[in-house]
Structure 1
Amino acid sequence: MDLFGESTNWVQKLAPILEQYKDQKHPLNYQNRYQLVVMVVLSAQDSDANINKIAPALFEVFPNIESLAVSNVNALLPYISGVRNFATKANWLLEIAQTIKKDENIPLTMEALIALKGIGRKSANVIMRESHAPAEGIIADLHVIRVAPRIGLLPETKDGIKAEKLLMQVLPKNIWGEIGMAISFLGREICRPKPKCPECPIKNICTYYIKNF
């Protein structure tokens, strides 16, 4: 197997998961783009399940960016106090809301999204993917960082930015929008820290499986 090289036909090899997870909605249970942005910011270093749990009460009080923009930290904190780094994230969300002002002003380019507080490349890629905006990068969350080296797509790294950069070098742009989330779903469902290899649709091209089975 030609590891980490562009000559490897990864599009063909990854086709089963691209097909299996194509257009599957992100696990964050958002109802619109405003909710998506807020939940993505809150989910950093926290679990999607936890954010889904606190979201309904939060959005009942803050239904849109306008309501958030005229609020303050003390009003917001009770609704997000169960989230990791909640005080910092409260300030980020208020600054985002005061910068954007209206839901319809939420940007959908990498440059504009990462200019907002609390939104890095991973978060921007998620927002763009879920909004069907043209991909400018590849989602590289903790699942992707674990799974991509395991299947032989990348060398080992714990750095999400480095992982994304390497993925962008190896994979053609026409699959950028879906492949990150496809690998992430594979990591959430099958390629867990203790992987369920017999269930994996791409086990036959996976270096870990070939080496261990």
Structure 2
Amino acid sequence: MDLFGETNNWVTNLAPILEKYKGRKHPLEYKNLYQLVVMVVLSAQDSDANVNAISPSLFEIFPNMKRLASSNVENLIPHISKVRNFATKANWLIEIAQTIQEEKNIPLAMETLTALKGIGRKSSNVIMREAGVPPEGIIADLHVIRVTPRIGLIPETQDGIKVEKLLMQILPKTIWGEIGMAFSFLGREICRPKPKCEECPINTICTYYKINKLN
């Protein structure tokens, strides 16, 4: 599906947001790969801001994967109790830590990341993007799920896996590593539930803008 010509035109159409957001660090305020993995797990169905708020004290107690692996769910829960589904996430994190043991063993491939409890494709794509490894998919968070149908890139769906699959079919792999976060940042800052269309760098190719702002 391509509403604006050949599929490859999307690279040109999306160039303004790729340029605007390329290389920008994820909003999770992590300091190393271990912290990123933990925070990505904690942020599922919760806000990055909330996870950022509880993380400094969490990492004072659990500064590395080895320390987390030597602990248990009961000790971890008090430090993440302000996060949604904290009990389930505590179990996931302890299992991840005990499986990996040390930071050097953190996997950086889709198959091995998604084999870990609590880490799906979206989380894996975030970890791989932030680690700078070649992408195997496209980040499809709630912002991407909102933005991509709105601009006319894909049909509307709330299924993140379907969104990713559709985007991977349409967009060339050369931009997979950055385009997901570009859409996400656009959704956080401009293409919000109530969009700021006049500020959008890609409003000229946006279906929503054409229908709602130009008519």
Given the two structures, how large is their TM-score scaled by the length of structure 2?
0.97
Q: How does 1:1-213 map to 2 (within 5 A)?
A: 2-3=2-3, 7=7, 9-213=9-213
Q: What's the offset of the Cα at 1:212?
A: 1.0
CA distance 1:79–1:5, change in 2 (3 Å): farther
- Secondary structure at 2:28's aligned position in 1? coil
- Rounded to whole Å, the distance in 2 between the matches of 1:189 and 1:161 is 23
- Rounded to whole Å, the distance in 2 between the matches of 1:154 and 1:184 is 15
- Secondary structure at 1:145's aligned position in 2? helix
CA distance 1:11–1:178, change in 2 (3 Å): same
- Rounded to whole Å, the distance in 1 between the matches of 2:40 and 2:72 is 20
Q: What's the offset of the Cα at 1:7?
A: 3.2
- Rounded to whole Å, the distance in 2 between the matches of 1:5 and 1:120 is 33
Amino acid at match of 1:80: I
- Secondary structure at 2:122's aligned position in 1? helix
Contact 1:29 1:52 in 2 (8 A): yes
- Rounded to whole Å, the distance in 1 between the matches of 2:159 and 2:8 is 23
Contact 1:4 1:170 in 2 (8 A): no
- Rounded to whole Å, the distance in 1 between the matches of 2:118 and 2:4 is 31
Q: Quote the RMSD (CA, aligned, Å).
A: 1.3
- Rounded to whole Å, the distance in 1 between the matches of 2:114 and 2:185 is 24
Contact 1:143 1:188 in 2 (8 A): yes
Gaps of 5+ in 1: none
Q: What's the offset of the Cα at 1:203?
A: 0.3
Q: Deviations over 1:78-125 (max 9, x none)?
A: 100000000000000000000001011101000000000000000000
Question: Percent identity between the aligned chains?
Answer: 77
Given the two structures, how large is their TM-score scaled by the length of structure 1?
0.98
Gaps of 5+ in 2: none
CA distance 1:4–1:54, change in 2 (3 Å): farther
- Rounded to whole Å, the distance in 2 between the matches of 1:112 and 1:4 is 37
CA distance 1:16–1:134, change in 2 (3 Å): same
Contact 1:110 1:136 in 2 (8 A): yes
- Rounded to whole Å, the distance in 2 between the matches of 1:6 and 1:44 is 35
CA distance 1:119–1:43, change in 2 (3 Å): same
